[in-house]
């Protein structure tokens, strides 16, 4: 289904129309205005495309999620949290965090985070929906993640690190914040062995849609306050 720029930004095809190949592709076109992005996430749809493609909208089945209470704090990560050398902060460097996620990876220089995408999520951050968790070592930004909060759901978008365990430290911080804020599920979008090792699991798309209907709410929560403490039990 092609989405026109002048079409109602609230409208998307039913999730059941997503393709099996490529898995989860639901629609193409449209724009990245806040209203359309929020309508998409509220339904369990997210944009993912390369700079050479039109905007592509996805809703994979099954869906990878992490329930905060199921997070697996590995012994090595627990030791890193106890002994340093990292501290975490939230929403103090969203622009730097998302640009770091867009940087070159070990697999190559290409990134799916175009300037258009970065600008769109920065708008959502300014509106109080998008948030970052940043990991610092000696005041240097060395890892982190960003995503969106809608009600009691956090939609994780991307994470990165330049030093060992820095992104895992950010995820541990996110899990603690989700517990403290009553967030019931973290959307991880698609499966990976790394996420599975940390407690994430796949659920059917219909179950994920039910979670969103019960817990997602399009009310901005504002900036997450800075914190440097991690106290996972």
pTM of the model: 0.92
Q: Is the pLDDT assigned to residue 230 strictly greater than 70?
A: no
Q: What is the CATH number for 50? A: 3.30.70.3550
The answer on pLDDT for 3 being more than 60 is: yes
Q: Could you read off the pLDDT of 131-162 as tens digits, one per residue?
A: 999 999 999 999 999 999 999 999 999 999 99
CATH at 185: 3.40.630.70
**φ/ψ (deg, to 5) at 223:** -65, 140
Q: How confident is the model over 58-76, as a mean pLDDT?
A: 95
Rounded distance between C-alpha atoms, residue 108 and residue 128, angstroms: 32
Q: What is the percentage of the chain residues whose pLDDT exceeds 70?
A: 92
**Residue 152 in tokens:** 């009691």
Binned at pLDDT 50, 70 and 90, residue 111 comes out as low
Please indicate, yes or no, if residue 192 is contained in any of the structural domains.
Answer: yes
Do 32 and 54 belong together in one domain? yes
Asked if the model's pLDDT at residue 229 lies above 60, the reply is no
User: Looking at the domain assignment, is residue 230 inside a domain?
Assistant: no
Do 48 and 19 lie in a common domain? yes
- Whether residue 42 is found in the same domain as residue 101: no
Do 49 and 69 share a domain, yes or no?
no
Mean pLDDT taken over the chain: 90
pLDDT band at 189 (very low <50, low <70, confident <90, very high): very high
DSSP state, 226? P
Closest CA to 205 of 32, 44, 34, 48: 44
Of the pLDDT bands very low, low, confident and very high (cuts 50, 70, 90), residue 16 is very high
Query: What 3-state class would DSSP assign to 196?
Result: helix
Work out how many domains the chain is built from and give that number: 2
Percent of the chain with pLDDT over 90: 76
Of the candidates 49, 38, 188, which has an alpha carbon nearest to the alpha carbon of residue 113? 49
* Domain range enclosing 72: 64-215
Give the model's pLDDT for residue 226: 57
- Report the alpha-carbon distance of residue 168 to residue 80 in Å, rounded: 10
Mark whether 53 and 28 lie in a shared domain. yes
């Amino acid at each position: 289904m092609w989405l026109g720029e002048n079409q109602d930004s609230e409208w998307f095809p039913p999730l059941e129309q997503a393709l099996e190949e490529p898995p989860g592709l639901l629609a193409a076109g449209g724009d990245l205005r806040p209203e359309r992005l929020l309508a998409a996430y509220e339904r369990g749809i997210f944009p993912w495309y390369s700079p050479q493609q039109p905007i592509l909208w996805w809703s994979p089945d099954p869906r990878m999620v992490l329930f905060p209470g199921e997070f697996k704090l590995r012994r090595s990560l627990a030791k890193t949290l106890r002994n340093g050398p990292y501290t975490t902060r939230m929403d103090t460097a969203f622009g730097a965090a998302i640009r770091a996620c867009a940087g070159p990876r070990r697999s190559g220089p290409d990134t799916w985070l175009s300037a258009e995408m970065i600008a769109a999520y920065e708008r959502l951050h300014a509106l109080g929906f998008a948030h970052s968790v940043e990991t610092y070592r000696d005041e240097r930004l060395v890892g982190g993640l960003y995503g969106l909060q809608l009600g009691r759901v956090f939609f994780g978008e991307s994470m990165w690190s330049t030093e060992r365990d820095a992104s895992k430290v950010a995820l541990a911080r996110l899990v603690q914040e989700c517990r403290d804020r009553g967030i019931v599920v973290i959307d991880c979008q698609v499966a990976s062995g790394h996420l599975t090792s940390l407690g994430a699991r796949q659920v059917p798309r219909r179950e994920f849609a039910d979670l969103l209907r019960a817990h997602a709410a399009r009310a901005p929560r504002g900036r997450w306050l800075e914190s440097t403490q991690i106290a996972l039990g």
